[in-house]
């Protein structure tokens, strides 16, 4: 009886994963759309792409393990707050695909120096760790990154197509 119950629970979990992925797809960003700004709202847990002041698409996100407050130092598992740019990308990332955020900026470096610690770096917008893409939108049920902004694999592919290097990204509390 215990084995049957376990199988039933696993089947229900698999169905929930598939259903969540289907419901979360939403309208795709039109091919050829190009964003000129990214706004990340930590309190709403969203990342929105803009063009000419008009929202193109909004994505739900997961953050660093300590989402409250601004990133202050290396290893604090916080997502930074402030104005940055997308300055590079990594198609060979261990997280499906990654767009690098230019953290730390000059103000972050000054704050870290004044506090006597390293500011950290390697903040990205990325998909799931390779091999875990099947989790889809369920990954957002917990903040799991080391300070990055995580979306599904399909979403990071879409974002990467629409966001050229040099695009400003504002991360708000």
pLDDT tens digits, 111-146:
999 999 999 999 999 999 999 999 999 999 999 999
* Predicted pLDDT of residue 87: 97
Q: Which one is the CATH code of 2-172: 2.40.440.10, 2.140.10.10, 3.30.70.1450, 3.90.79.10?
A: 2.40.440.10
Peptide bond into 17 cis (omega under 30): no
* Predicted pLDDT of residue 17: 45
Cα 102 to Cα 39: distance, rounded to the nearest angstrom:
14
Domain residue extents for the chain: 2-172
Please state the pTM of the whole predicted model: 0.82
Report, as an integer, the average pLDDT of 137-164.
95
Nearest to 147 by CA among 73, 58, 87: 73
Cα 154 to Cα 64: distance, rounded to the nearest angstrom:
20
Cα 45 to Cα 33: distance, rounded to the nearest angstrom:
23
pLDDT band at 70 (very low <50, low <70, confident <90, very high): confident
Report, as an integer, the average pLDDT of 93-111.
95
* Predicted pLDDT of residue 56: 97
């Amino acid at each position: 009886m215990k084995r049957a119950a376990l199988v039933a629970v696993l089947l229900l979990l698999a169905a929930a994963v598939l259903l969540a992925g289907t419901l979360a797809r939403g309208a795709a960003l039109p091919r050829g759309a190009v964003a000129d700004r990214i706004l990340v709202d930590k309190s709403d847990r969203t990342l929105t792409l803009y063009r000419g002041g008009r929202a193109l698409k909004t994505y739900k996100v997961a953050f660093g393990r300590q989402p409250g407050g601004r990133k202050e130092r290396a290893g604090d598992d916080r997502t930074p707050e402030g104005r940055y740019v997308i300055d590079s990308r990594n198609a060979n990332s261990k997280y499906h695909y990654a767009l690098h955020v230019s953290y730390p900026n000059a103000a972050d470096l000054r704050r870290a120096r004044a506090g006597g610690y390293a500011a950290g770096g390697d903040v990205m917008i990325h998909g799931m760790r390779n091999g875990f893409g099947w989790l889809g939108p369920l990954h957002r049920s917990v903040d799991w990154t080391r300070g990055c902004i995580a979306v599904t694999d399909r979403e990071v592919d879409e974002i990467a197509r629409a966001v050229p290097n040099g695009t400003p990204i504002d991360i708000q509390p």
